[in-house]
Structure 1
Amino acid sequence: MGNASSIEPTKTVFLDIDGKKEKIMFSRHCGSRDIHDLIAHAAGVSRYAEISLRDSTGAFVSLNPTMPINTQSSPYKVTSKEPSPTTGDGEVFTQVLSQVASQFNKVFKVEEMKTDIATRLSALERKMELEGLKAVEIEKCKRDISDIKDQIWNAQKKFVDFNRLSRDTHIMNRKQTLSTYRKYTLSQETIEYLKQPTFDIWHWEPNEMLSLLEHMFHELGLVAEFNINPITLKRFFLCVQENYRNNPFHNFRHCFCVTQMMYGMIHLCHLWEVMTREDLGILMTACVCHDLDHPGYNNTYQINARTELAIRYNDISPLENHHCAVAFKILSNPECNIFANVDKDTFKRIRAGITMLILATDMARHGEIMDNFKMKLEPEFDYKNKDSLDTLKMVLIKCCDISNEVRPMEVSEPWVDCLLEEYFNQSDREKMEGLPVAPFMDRDKVTKPTAQIGFIKFVLIPMFETVAKLFPVIDSTMVEPLRIARDRYEDMKEKNSMPPPPSQNNKKKTVTEK
């Protein structure tokens, strides 16, 4: 397939649920969670149940809109398992936490409840005595209410330990996750779609993104190149995922998004013809690790607020240096070290290459890197020159890092909302702390079109046009979508700036005044 438009508008999938034949229909606009809930309903289990599908060969099938189509004679076998307190996966655990959290208000009022019960007990005792009830009945009531007090106290004690218990359970779940992190069966449609810049990254659940990353490393020959133990690769991706924070923008989905775009550019530009497999491995691994443990506040904030990161790295690319440090901390763990089987000299090159690329994602260095790249293009780019090749790799990771507007509007626009949310969080904090606020982050000054127009016109289009001089295919597949995005936002800005039409009341008032 060439692009997303080849995905069928509606799919029918046949299921075998405990010997009963069922079928479900869904559109390509459904998310994985929608399909999960649809199957859960068909199976008569709760939406929190763990659902898995196997094909006729026993292989797991991914629950997503691009799952392979089957037939009525070869239905997918459905297995469901309701969550338990100790074996639920991360999503179920999150659901349980949300339910427990809803009880916090009650917990925080325990003392108030105790006082209220004591008051009611005294009133009840007086009432009983006035009504001449037997002492034994009064004592029974006292014991009943005392039991209630004990239950409340025990609940309070449990909630005091809530953070510790939840953390321990979280760690336990992560250990268990490896056994449930499956190698999904990907349809040929998904395999080809994954190579496209139009790939819709919003359809995929975290475990599915892990499997897609795993597929990329296998398909590019990186597992063979570096002699990576497949289980170590799984552990590496799990640990990376665990070390991305739940920020509106700089999160694990962004990491996947950047890595998928690099994978797409490798195939689009046939980079294996001008680079070694080692180079491709460095590019892909740098993308995976490029924003590890991002705190959601940019370098400007780190420096102005004099944070620990800014002090540690002397105000020089504090976040990017931190991302590198976290990446190699993960790789220092033998269970996660995907480069454990390469020799020392190779690892030294890999470490230097990944560090160089992650540091290149600091936008403060954008002008310097692009000027250097333009010089390398004249009169002719020399792929055999290490400095030239390094500069090309830096430009490629920069392209992928800020490539959202290359994607179709329905994929790119939600990212703008995520980015603005993160910007507004930072500017609100800067205002509270008395720090300088960038106008493009101020919720009182910026709009979606004003945030994007300048960035697309003066950063994205010039950068991708420059890369297109080396790889002409980039112009139609990436530069043209950027021009369309620019025009769309300019139209949006123009519409937003137009004064509203006068209301009928205003018209009547004008006539009367005349």
Structure 2
Amino acid sequence: MGCMVDKAPDCFHPNENPEEILTIISKPPNEYYNELLHPFIIQDHPTLNLTIPPASLRNQFSSKDLTQKDFPIFSHTTSDLIHFAYKIFQISGLDTPKLISFLSLINQNYLNNLPFHNFWHGFSVFQMIYVIGSRNSQLNDFLIDKEYMILLLAAIGHDVNHPGFNNSFLIATKHDLALKYNNNSVLENHHIYVMLEILKASEIFGFEDMKNISLIIIEAILSTDMACHKKVCDDYLLVLGRFDKGDRGCRQKFANYLLHCADLGNQALDFQIASLWSLKILREFNLQVICEEKYGIQVSEFLRTGNDINKIKASQIGFIDNIILPLWVKLAEKVENIEDFPEELKRNKKKWEELKGFE
């Protein structure tokens, strides 16, 4: 069962100095992850026993920040985020009780004790696509009918039930999920399975709708596998110059690329938010290295940063330079009104470069 944590782990006030945060969050995570280390378990089937919707759903929240790029996500609980997601999905005309059930089940099935791959991350990716859609008439130049809404659904559930370890770890440890999915996009296939089971349990869509929706969600979530990065980029570039909105394949490749960009988009946020996301994912990486040592498998040394500020900086600068910035530059060539995302990436790269180490 997903942990019912309602406050983001390792959550610091957005105005804190990133240099001070580094000294806290980059400590060795052995004790923090003790419950995951003994034993190592991933739930094979989703939790479908719905808890009572949070009381905060009945409270009045201001949703004015939802169209802002730098949404203050760490100022909100999961109950708040469920409410905000509900407000966004209201444009789709989905049945309210069923929609709330779906969102609550998605939250329940994220492992919210993880620093990074939790419901806050799922919501952040979802909200980033909503920001881009709100600036571009719900992306109606690229998608038709309900495809924008389906992409938002895929985004909020794209990492549901993520254990905080990558596919290589599951394969190396011969985990049941790796065997189930033949070592192929193991986590992504698991996220899809859990996501579709939750959709069916919430009964938002009928049988015929589910068939069409499933196709879009499956391809979009599979595109978030970093092993597919080159293919997703190549597919997008192939249709970039001759985009045909009437071609389902073109629309799907666009949706895949946009979700991939948003999944890697936290460094395109204001540095005070972006640096927190960086430190959260690095903490999970450090955990994986510890677990690899514990299980006696090949250690992913490239994931090890520990407290070394130079390694932390190098990892983030390299990822921005080689992966994230090229992604967003190409997206901004096709999608209007998002120039601030690649520009923010350039500013953040400079801020990482200027960040001083600890004496």
Of 193, 209, 233 in structure 1, the residue corresponding to residue 81 of structure 2 is: 209
- Deviation per CA, 1:91-147: give whole Å up to 9, x if none: xxxxxxxxxxxxxxxxxxxxxxxxxxxxxxxxxxxxxxxxxxxxxxxxxxxxxxxxx
In the alignment, which residue of structure 1 is the partner of 2:61? Answer: 186
Cα 1:174–1:329 shift into 2, 3 Å: closer
In the alignment, which residue of structure 2 is the partner of 1:474? Answer: 338
- Deviation per CA, 1:245-279: give whole Å up to 9, x if none: 12111011111111111111111233343222410
- Deviation per CA, 1:50-94: give whole Å up to 9, x if none: xxxxxxxxxxxxxxxxxxxxxxxxxxxxxxxxxxxxxxxxxxxxx
* Count of matched residue pairs: 312
In the alignment, which residue of structure 2 is the partner of 1:144? Answer: none
Partners of 1:261 and 1:179 lie apart in 2 by 24
Structure 2: where are the runs of 5+ without partners? 1-12, 17-46
**What pairs with 1:334-349 in structure 2 (closer than 5 Å)?**
336-340=202-206, 344=208, 346-349=209-212
Of 396, 408, 415 in structure 1, the residue corresponding to residue 258 of structure 2 is: 396
In the alignment, is residue 456 of structure 1 matched against residue 320 of structure 2? yes
In the alignment, which residue of structure 1 is the partner of 2:347? Answer: 484
Partners of 2:272 and 2:15 lie apart in 1 by 10
CA deviation after TM superposition for structure 1 residue 441, in Å: 1.2
- Deviation per CA, 1:404-424: give whole Å up to 9, x if none: 111111111111111111111
- Deviation per CA, 1:14-53: give whole Å up to 9, x if none: xxxxxxxxxxxxx9969xxxxxxxxxxxxxxxxxxxxxxx
Cα 1:29–1:483 shift into 2, 3 Å: closer
| 8 Å Cα contact 2:162-2:187 kept in structure 1 | yes
In the alignment, is residue 358 of structure 1 matched against residue 221 of structure 2? yes
CA deviation after TM superposition for structure 1 residue 354, in Å: 0.7
In the alignment, which residue of structure 1 is the partner of 2:133? Answer: 266
In the alignment, which residue of structure 2 is the partner of 1:370? Answer: 233
In the alignment, which residue of structure 1 is the partner of 2:24? Answer: none
In the alignment, which residue of structure 1 is the partner of 2:287? Answer: 425
> TM-score scaled to structure 1, two decimals?
0.58
Of 298, 316, 330 in structure 2, the residue corresponding to residue 436 of structure 1 is: 298
CA deviation after TM superposition for structure 1 residue 287, in Å: 0.8
In the alignment, which residue of structure 1 is the partner of 2:106? Answer: 240
- Deviation per CA, 1:276-306: give whole Å up to 9, x if none: 2410111011011101111111101011111
In the alignment, which residue of structure 2 is the partner of 1:294? Answer: 162
| 8 Å Cα contact 2:14-2:74 kept in structure 1 | no
Equivalent position SS for 1:473: coil
In the alignment, which residue of structure 1 is the partner of 2:39? Answer: none
Structure 1: where are the runs of 5+ without partners? 1-26, 31-170, 501-514
In the alignment, is residue 252 of structure 1 matched against residue 116 of structure 2? no
CA deviation after TM superposition for structure 1 residue 232, in Å: 1.0
Equivalent position SS for 1:338: coil
In the alignment, which residue of structure 1 is the partner of 2:5? Answer: none
| C-alpha RMSD over aligned residues | 2.3
- Name the amino acid aligned to 1:253: W
**What pairs with 1:72-221 in structure 2 (closer than 5 Å)?**
175=51, 177-178=52-53, 180-187=55-62, 190-191=63-64, 193-218=65-90, 221=91
Cα 1:28–1:455 shift into 2, 3 Å: closer
Task: Answer with 390-399 or 411-420: which moved more.
Answer: 411-420
In the alignment, which residue of structure 1 is the partner of 2:249? Answer: 387
- Name the amino acid aligned to 1:339: F
Question: What stretches of structure 1 move > 3 A for 4+ residues in a row?
Answer: 27-30, 443-446
- Name the amino acid aligned to 1:186: F
Partners of 1:313 and 1:432 lie apart in 2 by 24
In the alignment, which residue of structure 1 is the partner of 2:277? Answer: 415
Greater RCO (Cα-Cα under 8 Å, separation 6 or more): 2
Partners of 1:272 and 1:396 lie apart in 2 by 11
Determine which structure has more spread, i.e. the larger CA radius of gyration: 1
Partners of 1:195 and 1:302 lie apart in 2 by 37
Cα 1:469–1:28 shift into 2, 3 Å: closer
Equivalent position SS for 1:267: helix
Equivalent position SS for 1:332: helix
Equivalent position SS for 1:369: helix
Partners of 2:239 and 2:275 lie apart in 1 by 34
In the alignment, which residue of structure 2 is the partner of 1:318? Answer: 186
Partners of 2:72 and 2:168 lie apart in 1 by 31
- Deviation per CA, 1:432-460: give whole Å up to 9, x if none: 22222223311457732111011100111
| 8 Å Cα contact 2:50-2:105 kept in structure 1 | no
Partners of 1:328 and 1:421 lie apart in 2 by 29
- Deviation per CA, 1:321-369: give whole Å up to 9, x if none: 0001111111222xx12213xx61x321101111111111101100111
- Name the amino acid aligned to 1:415: W
CA deviation after TM superposition for structure 1 residue 464, in Å: 0.5
> TM-score scaled to structure 2, two decimals?
0.81
CA deviation after TM superposition for structure 1 residue 181, in Å: 4.8
- Name the amino acid aligned to 1:412: A
In the alignment, is residue 306 of structure 1 matched against residue 170 of structure 2? no
CA deviation after TM superposition for structure 1 residue 179, in Å: 6.9
In the alignment, which residue of structure 1 is the partner of 2:95? Answer: 229
| 8 Å Cα contact 1:290-1:358 kept in structure 2 | yes
- Name the amino acid aligned to 2:169: Y
CA deviation after TM superposition for structure 1 residue 473, in Å: 2.1
| 8 Å Cα contact 1:184-1:208 kept in structure 2 | no
